[in-house]
Amino acid sequence: MRCGPPKTGETYSTDPAKREAGDPTGFTRAAAADIVATMAILKIARMGHPVLRRVAAPVADPTAPRIKVLVADMVETLDDIGGAGLAAPQVHVSERVVVFKVPAERTTGRPLDTPMELVTIINPVIEAVGNDREIGWEGCLSVPGLRGAVPRFARIRYRGVTPEGAAIDREVEGFHARVVQHECDHLDGVLYLQRMTDHRLLAFVEEWQRYPIDLAAAVTEAAE
């Protein structure tokens, strides 16, 4: 059996007869990943790229193999860069797909601020639960080197579908709710900077670490 990537000009098909005959062009891309390691670290779109201002399209078939490939590549990209989450428009794909993590060390300890290893949501929908908002620090892979304090709904319900076609329906709060709101904003062409209400609370990471801002004090002062 021949193994290896297709030669230039050959394209993959899903023809089982070709697979049986050992023709490498008979592999789907997902199956070919086993032999040609097609997973990829994707280029991140940075603020100013029009894909970040566009409203992303709904995914017609969340279980399609191409979505699994996209999600695998997004996860690999996220692991490489080390962020909390990534939305498909940030890798130049204008479709409604987000991946994110909720690390235990960043949660508030509140009951619905559930830590998560890795969540993938296709076609997510968010609704606020109550009107409480809270301010917290955010950064974004598309706006490298900055941190800003952003008001978000304290508690939300989100729904969507996994790449396996399973329904997601969760009520969350705190950091978990913040990450979901940040990532889903990307699907509507919104960056966290647009959600900020006090741009004095925007800083370069280096200065932010060197001269910590007391957020509680800053918010109280702004309210007075």
- Which residues are tagged catalytic? 183
Residue 123 contacts residue 58 (beta carbons within 8 Å): yes
Among 140, 161, 177, 179, binds Ni ion (CB under 5 A): 140
Q: Which single residue brings its beta carbon nearest to Ni ion?
A: 140
For the bound state, the minimum distance from the C-beta of residue 79 to Ni ion, rounded and expressed in Å, comes to 16
45 binds Ni ion (CB under 5 A): no
Question: Exposed, middle or buried by CB within 10 Å (0-12, 13-18, 19+), for 157?
Answer: middle
For the bound state, the minimum distance from the C-beta of residue 182 to Ni ion, rounded and expressed in Å, comes to 6
For the bound state, the minimum distance from the C-beta of residue 215 to Ni ion, rounded and expressed in Å, comes to 19
49 half-sphere exposure, CB direction, 13 A CA radius: 17
Task: Output 140 or 203, the one with its CB closest to Ni ion.
Answer: 140
Residue 187 contacts residue 55 (beta carbons within 8 Å): yes
For the bound state, the minimum distance from the C-beta of residue 90 to Ni ion, rounded and expressed in Å, comes to 6
Three-state helix/strand/coil letters over 149-165: EEEEECEEEEEEECCCC
For the bound state, the minimum distance from the C-beta of residue 81 to Ni ion, rounded and expressed in Å, comes to 11
Region binding Ni ion by CB under 5 A among candidate stretches 66-74, 119-127, 140-148, 201-209: 140-148
Region binding Ni ion by CB under 5 A among candidate stretches 113-121, 137-145, 200-208, 215-223: 137-145
74 binds Ni ion (CB under 5 A): no
SS3 57: strand
DSSP string, 92-149: T--BSEEEEEE-GGGS---TT---EEEEEEEEEEEEESSS-EEEEEEEETTEEEEEEE
Sheet with 143-153, edge to edge strand ranges:
133-140, 143-153, 202-204
52 binds Ni ion (CB under 5 A): no
Task: Output 123 or 181, the one with its CB closest to Ni ion.
Answer: 181
What tokens does 115 get? 């830590």
Task: Output 135 or 140, the one with its CB closest to Ni ion.
Answer: 140
For residue 64, the 8-state DSSP code is: -
Backbone φ and ψ of 195, nearest 5°: -90, -10
154 binds Ni ion (CB under 5 A): no
Task: Output 27 or 175, the one with its CB closest to Ni ion.
Answer: 175
Task: Output 62 or 148, the one with its CB closest to Ni ion.
Answer: 148
122 binds Ni ion (CB under 5 A): no
91 binds Ni ion (CB under 5 A): no
Number of residues that bind Ni ion (CB under 5 A): 1
Interface contacts to Ni ion, rule CB under 5 A: 140
